[in-house]
A and B are shown apart, each in its own frame.
Chain A
Amino acid sequence: MTPESTAMRAIPGEVPASTARLGRAQWTDALVDLRETGGRLVALWGSDAGDAMLVSAAIAMGDGLRVVELALGTGEKCPDLCGLFAGASRMQRAASDLVGIEFEGARDTRPWLRHGAWPAGEFPLRRGFDPARERPNPQADYAFVRVEGDGVHEIPVGPIHAGIIEPGHFRFSVVGEKVLRLEERLGYAHKGIERRFQDFSVADGYRLAGRVSGDSAVAFQWAYAQAAESIAGVAPPPRARWLRALMLERERVANHLGDLGALGNDAALAFALSQFMRLKEDWLRLQAEAFGHRLCMDRIVPGGVDADLDDSSKARFVDQAAAIGDEVRSLQVIFDESSSLQDRFITTGRLTPDQARAFGVTGLAGRASGQPFDLRADLPCDPYPELAVRKVVHESGDVATRVKVRFEELYESLRLIAQIARRMPAGPTRIDYPQPPAQALGVGFVEGWRGETFVALRSGEGGTIARCHAHDPSWHAWPAIEHAVIGNIVPDFPLINKSFNLSYSGQDC
């Protein structure tokens, strides 16, 4: 039975999406079918629906999202999806930790987010779990995969890293300085955000969504707003959509500026860090002046945008886009002419198109490895159809290619910013957000600077949040890095890692 024939119900709103709750056999068939027709796993999460445990999988198709749900009876296990979608493993482990769902046939059943802060047998997203109760916090052992052989040794790194970076643990198995295997252990930044959402109303939850990953505050708040608006059946005014796009493109540029500087620095070109960080500071200062927050946190709300632009700010945005473009072009010449930099970048940390496809890597890392997905072009919501976003896609998948994608996407975003600022329609920026109906499912799906940013939101009684799953694209790229690193030398790991610059908080949340 194909999913199309099982009466998928459309989810209203800005994102083309449909959903169905299926029986066990149908669910697996539907996923096989979606996989065979080009579907990518965007997210997998569990919920306690009261009478049953629910497993939900969001699949991206060419024409939109499918959210297929399976209700599990008491003691019933969910079929393992790792054979269909390699990236499912960690999401399944997280669902086991948080909701207690077991996956039949899954090979890796080690805890992922549960390091010892709550005991096995307790599940934070189950009803009746008391988040406030004091619990002992022992350090659980973790069975890393051992590599054996002559001269193999391990280098453990983290959770505290040597720089100003988020926490995570990397276990390298090396011979000399060559990496045979990298195993990541994440979850250190787990803050219980999905449980915490239940303390917020649907109208207010955007604040928490903006802090799933601070560098993607705009992407998450837009995705959250899409989901909330989908539930309530309301649409933001046109001007709000243009302002959202303006903030999203500015967030993309801000992160690319910072990362390009850091990439130069990691390859011993400190000059790049000073220059790009200077430009980023100029960028954020104008953002603070125009929108009242350097990272645009709390500016995108259900129903619209909590900010506006006057004509002089618009003109400054256009001028700044031109000025920063000139500066970055002159810096790109210096990058291209620096043989020591290119020597570090080219062929380093190669993620092949096959690997990227297997893990469902999207966003800039995916596009550097031949994955031609960009929601702004593929499923454009207003104002993107009017802007005709030029997709940047390359194949080589090494650090140099990710650097190239960043430069090209930065220029494209600067073009979009100037367009948006010039063409922004007049009118209100926000409507009143009504109390949403109970037990409604809404989704949001936004091309953040890092990739596809997804939010699934289910309302409870009286405008409360029953369940909110906020999904960072880093979920898909983290396991891919384990492969991109193989055969490289240990000192190139920081460079490879920075070229992806994945979110720890977004994955752990």
Chain B
Amino acid sequence: MIPLLVKVFRTGIVSEAPPAPAAEWRERACAMQADILRLLGRALVIRQVDAGSCNGCELEIHALNNPYYNLEGLGIKFAASPRHADMLLVTGPVAKNMEHALRIAYDAMPDPKLVVAVGDCGRDGGIFGAGYATCGGVGKVIPVDVTVPGCPPPPLAILRGILAALETPRR
């Protein structure tokens, strides 16, 4: 136990300040109303769905939970069930073999629901395109609020996309 405590003490707090939201990646006026946001503050529960990615985006989403980005410190956490989630964070070009499961997960989420599509292939199929096995982007299957570009997008970009979905649209 002592080596563990020493390690914790020596490591200290390495968390960094969060980035600015990337409003330019917003795809549509957000579904979440300003008053709900005021009520909930920034607390956000995310259900992540890998809809057939190469797993590169998953590595970077995992990194968001490391102490540098400290996602939970911002009031954002991942849930096991879409029924507990405010946001669906979707990766992959949406493999046809995942199309059905993605729709079920989306339908299971309570309203209002936010969807962030992560990565170039989440945007439009990316390098995999649209074909016999891929739908060609998350937006082909469910409505998308924010799209984060990159292959894969680094953790900060994913975080900026998540935060952009939380901000009410400027009018």
A residues sitting closer than 8 Å to B (CB atoms) are 113, 115-118, 124, 129, 131-133, 135, 137, 139, 159-160, 162-167, 187-193, 195-196, 199, 207-208, 211-215, 217, 258, 271, 273-275, 277-278, 280-281, 284, 288, 294-295, 297, 330-331, 333-334, 337-338, 503-505, 508
Partner among A135, A160, A275, A277 whose Cβ is within 8 Å of the Cβ of B132:
A135
Which residues of B52-84 are within 8 A (CB) of A? Answer: 52-63, 65-68, 78, 80-81
Chain A CB within 8 A of B99 CB: yes
When A117-B97, A295-B152 are in contact, do A275 and B11 touch as well, CB less than 8 Å?
A: yes
Partner among A208, A277, A288 whose Cβ is within 8 Å of the Cβ of B62:
A277
- Alpha-carbon distance between A365 and B80 when the two chains are bound, in angstroms: 28
Annotate B1-45 by CB proximity to A: 1 below 8 A, 0 otherwise: 001100110010010000000000000000000000000000000
Q: Determine the residue in chain A with the shortest Cβ distance to B94.
A: A191
When A139-B100, A162-B80, A331-B7 are in contact, do A217 and B56 touch as well, CB less than 8 Å?
A: yes
Q: Determine the residue in chain B with the shortest Cβ distance to A188.
A: B97
A134 to chain B, nearest CB (A): 10
Q: Determine the residue in chain A with the shortest Cβ distance to B78.
A: A164
Assess whether B48 is in contact with A294, with CB atoms less than 8 Å apart: no
Could you say which residues of chain A place their CB within 8 Å of the CB of B48? Answer: 163-164
When A189-B97, A271-B4 are in contact, do A214 and B132 touch as well, CB less than 8 Å?
A: no
Chain A CB within 8 A of B113 CB: no
Q: Determine the residue in chain B with the shortest Cβ distance to A261.
A: B66
- Alpha-carbon distance between A196 and B55 when the two chains are bound, in angstroms: 18
Assess whether A280 is in contact with B95, with CB atoms less than 8 Å apart: no
Assess whether A196 is in contact with B131, with CB atoms less than 8 Å apart: yes
When A189-B50, A333-B3 are in contact, do A117 and B132 touch as well, CB less than 8 Å?
A: yes
Partner among A118, A190, A281 whose Cβ is within 8 Å of the Cβ of B95:
A190
What are 14 A-B contacts with C-beta separation under 8 Å? A117-B133, A159-B101, A160-B101, A162-B80, A162-B81, A188-B101, A190-B96, A191-B52, A278-B66, A294-B60, A331-B7, A338-B4, A505-B52, A508-B95
Could you say which residues of chain B place their CB within 8 Å of the CB of A190? Answer: 52, 95-97, 133
Could you say which residues of chain B place their CB within 8 Å of the CB of A162? Answer: 80-81
When A137-B99, A160-B101, A331-B7 are in contact, do A214 and B50 touch as well, CB less than 8 Å?
A: no
Assess whether A211 is in contact with B3, with CB atoms less than 8 Å apart: no
B interface residue count range (under 10 / 10 to 19 / 20 to 34 / 35 or more) = 35 or more
Assess whether B55 is in contact with A191, with CB atoms less than 8 Å apart: no
Assess whether B55 is in contact with A215, with CB atoms less than 8 Å apart: yes
A373 to chain B, nearest CB (A): 24
Chain A CB within 8 A of B138 CB: no
- Alpha-carbon distance between A188 and B96 when the two chains are bound, in angstroms: 8
Partner among B11, B63, B98, B105 whose Cβ is within 8 Å of the Cβ of A281:
B63
Could you say which residues of chain A place their CB within 8 Å of the CB of B131? Answer: 131-132, 192, 195-196
Chain A CB within 8 A of B154 CB: yes
Assess whether B7 is in contact with A163, with CB atoms less than 8 Å apart: no
Assess whether B66 is in contact with A192, with CB atoms less than 8 Å apart: no
Could you say which residues of chain B place their CB within 8 Å of the CB of A124? Answer: 132-133
Partner among B80, B97, B105 whose Cβ is within 8 Å of the Cβ of A163:
B80
Could you say which residues of chain B place their CB within 8 Å of the CB of A160? Answer: 49-50, 101, 105
- Alpha-carbon distance between A334 and B1 when the two chains are bound, in angstroms: 8
Main secondary structure of the interface of B (DSSP, over half): mixed
- Alpha-carbon distance between A187 and B52 when the two chains are bound, in angstroms: 9
- Alpha-carbon distance between A215 and B78 when the two chains are bound, in angstroms: 21
Assess whether A271 is in contact with B8, with CB atoms less than 8 Å apart: yes
Main secondary structure of the interface of A (DSSP, over half): loop
When A188-B98, A277-B65 are in contact, do A297 and B56 touch as well, CB less than 8 Å?
A: yes
Chain A CB within 8 A of B109 CB: no
Could you say which residues of chain B place their CB within 8 Å of the CB of A337? Answer: 3
**Known interface pairs A117-B97, A192-B133; 15 further A-B residue pairs with C-beta atoms within 8 A, sorted by A's residue number:** A129-B132, A160-B101, A163-B80, A164-B62, A188-B97, A188-B98, A188-B101, A189-B97, A191-B93, A273-B65, A274-B67, A278-B68, A280-B66, A333-B3, A505-B54
Chain A CB within 8 A of B134 CB: yes
Assess whether A163 is in contact with B128, with CB atoms less than 8 Å apart: no
Could you say which residues of chain B place their CB within 8 Å of the CB of A217? Answer: 56
- Alpha-carbon distance between A505 and B93 when the two chains are bound, in angstroms: 12
Annotate B105-129 by CB proximity to A: 1 below 8 A, 0 otherwise: 1000000000000000000000111
Could you say which residues of chain A place their CB within 8 Å of the CB of B100? Answer: 137, 139
Assess whether A191 is in contact with B61, with CB atoms less than 8 Å apart: no
- Alpha-carbon distance between A162 and B84 when the two chains are bound, in angstroms: 12
Assess whether B7 is in contact with A167, with CB atoms less than 8 Å apart: no
Partner among B56, B93, B96 whose Cβ is within 8 Å of the Cβ of A137:
B96
Could you say which residues of chain A place their CB within 8 Å of the CB of B81? Answer: 162
- Alpha-carbon distance between A131 and B68 when the two chains are bound, in angstroms: 43
- Alpha-carbon distance between A214 and B152 when the two chains are bound, in angstroms: 9
Could you say which residues of chain A place their CB within 8 Å of the CB of B96? Answer: 115-117, 137, 190
Q: Determine the residue in chain A with the shortest Cβ distance to B56.
A: A214
Q: Determine the residue in chain B with the shortest Cβ distance to A129.
A: B132
- Alpha-carbon distance between A124 and B152 when the two chains are bound, in angstroms: 27
Chain A CB within 8 A of B51 CB: yes
When A167-B101, A278-B68 are in contact, do A215 and B4 touch as well, CB less than 8 Å?
A: no
Could you say which residues of chain A place their CB within 8 Å of the CB of B134? Answer: 191-192
Assess whether B54 is in contact with A213, with CB atoms less than 8 Å apart: yes
- Alpha-carbon distance between A54 and B129 when the two chains are bound, in angstroms: 27
Chain A CB within 8 A of B139 CB: no
A284 to chain B, nearest CB (A): 7
B26 to chain A, nearest CB (A): 23
Assess whether A163 is in contact with B78, with CB atoms less than 8 Å apart: yes
When A164-B78, A275-B11 are in contact, do A214 and B55 touch as well, CB less than 8 Å?
A: yes
Assess whether B50 is in contact with A167, with CB atoms less than 8 Å apart: yes
Could you say which residues of chain B place their CB within 8 Å of the CB of A129? Answer: 132
Could you say which residues of chain B place their CB within 8 Å of the CB of A196? Answer: 127-129, 131
- Alpha-carbon distance between A149 and B49 when the two chains are bound, in angstroms: 35
Assess whether A274 is in contact with B54, with CB atoms less than 8 Å apart: no
**Pairs A-B, 10 closest by C-beta atoms:** A214-B56, A192-B133, A117-B96, A277-B66, A162-B80, A214-B54, A211-B54, A131-B131, A131-B132, A189-B52
